[in-house]
């Protein structure tokens, strides 16, 4: 069973990275963007789901299980934002908000334990990552609360919610491979520093699309 989930994790993760980068190229809303977006969504479900399973039942790595679940949360809520054209809050957003709270509490507890341990790496993860995910989960909760208070998310805010969650999920996938598993690449690539390039490109894409959404005329018109 573990071999199956490991194969699923690797295969789906590879497909997710290719589809994720490919979805950033076509114009948003075009058939090609939708196709790559769907491939990315389902591949991320497989990758993150398999990672969570392996972390719990194979290696007992709580932090990696939470990261996998957080990734699932990102892609599910990102897809929900894209498909909910009316933007009105439903029970799904409420459940997602509650799930984000549980994830935050999990990351917070692990961060406190990591700080007390004095270890630099726990379960193969640098302790700094514990703190980063705690902050990210807190930000997600804050934004979920805004959606619930307003009764929904509309116009460019809905588009931004979809984009930043999907791109952050892609960042996790890319970082997990290129920075988290450098041993799978030849030595000359590892020593060249090129493994950081895909991660940098994802960060660049995130800033680009957030600026494009909030400044670009096309997305401003979507709110009118």
pLDDT in tens, 11-42: 999 999 999 999 988 887 889 999 999 999 99
Q: Which helix (H) or strand (E) holds 152?
A: none
Q: What is the C-alpha separation between 199 and 74, in angstroms, rounded?
A: 18
The neighbour count for residue 149, using CB atoms within 10 Å, is 8
51: Cβ contacts below 8 Å, ≥ 6 apart: 9, 64, 65, 67, 68, 71
Q: Is the pLDDT of residue 10 over 90?
A: yes
Lowest mean pLDDT among 53-57, 79-83, 183-187, 214-218: 214-218
Q: Which two tokens stand for residue 209?
A: 């699309």
Q: What is the C-alpha separation between 168 and 162, in angstroms, rounded?
A: 10
pLDDT tens across 163-218, in order?
Answer: 999 999 999 999 999 988 888 899 989 889 899 999 999 999 999 999 999 887 55
pLDDT for the residue numbered 218 = 57
Helix then strand count (H, E) for the chain reads 9, 2
Q: What is the C-alpha separation between 101 and 93, in angstroms, rounded?
A: 12
Contact 197, 159 (CB under 8 A): no
Q: Which two tokens stand for residue 54?
A: 């392996």
Q: What is the C-alpha separation between 34 and 96, in angstroms, rounded?
A: 23
pLDDT for the residue numbered 217 = 58
pLDDT tens across 124-172, in order?
Answer: 889 999 999 999 999 999 999 999 999 999 889 999 999 999 999 999 9
Measured in whole angstroms, the distance separating CA 79 from the mean position of its chain's CA atoms is 12
Q: Which helix (H) or strand (E) holds 121?
A: strand 121-122
Q: What is the C-alpha separation between 19 and 165, in angstroms, rounded?
A: 15
Q: What is the C-alpha separation between 52 and 72, in angstroms, rounded?
A: 9
Q: Which two tokens stand for residue 39?
A: 């491939």
- CA neighbor of 173 nearest in space, from 2, 18, 57: 18
């Amino acid at each position: 069973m573990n071999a199956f989930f490991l194969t699923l994790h690797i295969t789906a993760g590879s497909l997710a990275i290719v589809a994720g980068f490919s979805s950033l190229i076509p114009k948003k809303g075009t058939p090609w963007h939708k196709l790559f977006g769907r491939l990315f969504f389902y591949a991320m479900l497989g990758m993150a789901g398999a990672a969570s399973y392996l972390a719990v039942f194979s290696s007992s790595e709580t932090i990696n299980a939470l990261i996998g679940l957080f990734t699932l949360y990102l892609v599910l809520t990102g897809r929900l934002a894209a498909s909910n054209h009316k933007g009105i809050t439903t029970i799904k957003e409420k459940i997602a908000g509650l799930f984000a709270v549980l994830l935050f509490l999990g990351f917070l507890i692990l961060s406190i334990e990591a700080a007390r341990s004095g270890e630099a790496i726990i379960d193969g993860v640098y302790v700094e990552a514990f703190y980063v995910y705690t902050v990210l989960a807190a930000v997600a909760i804050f934004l979920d609360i805004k959606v619930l208070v307003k009764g929904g998310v509309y116009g460019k805010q809905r588009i931004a919610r979809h984009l930043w969650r999907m791109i952050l999920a892609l960042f996790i996938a890319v970082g997990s491979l290129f920075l988290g598993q450098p041993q799978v690449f030849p030595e000359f690539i590892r020593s060249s520093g090129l493994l950081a390039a895909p991660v940098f490109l994802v960060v660049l894409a995130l800033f680009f699309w957030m600026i494009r959404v909030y400044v670009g005329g096309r997305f401003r018109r979507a709110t009118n």
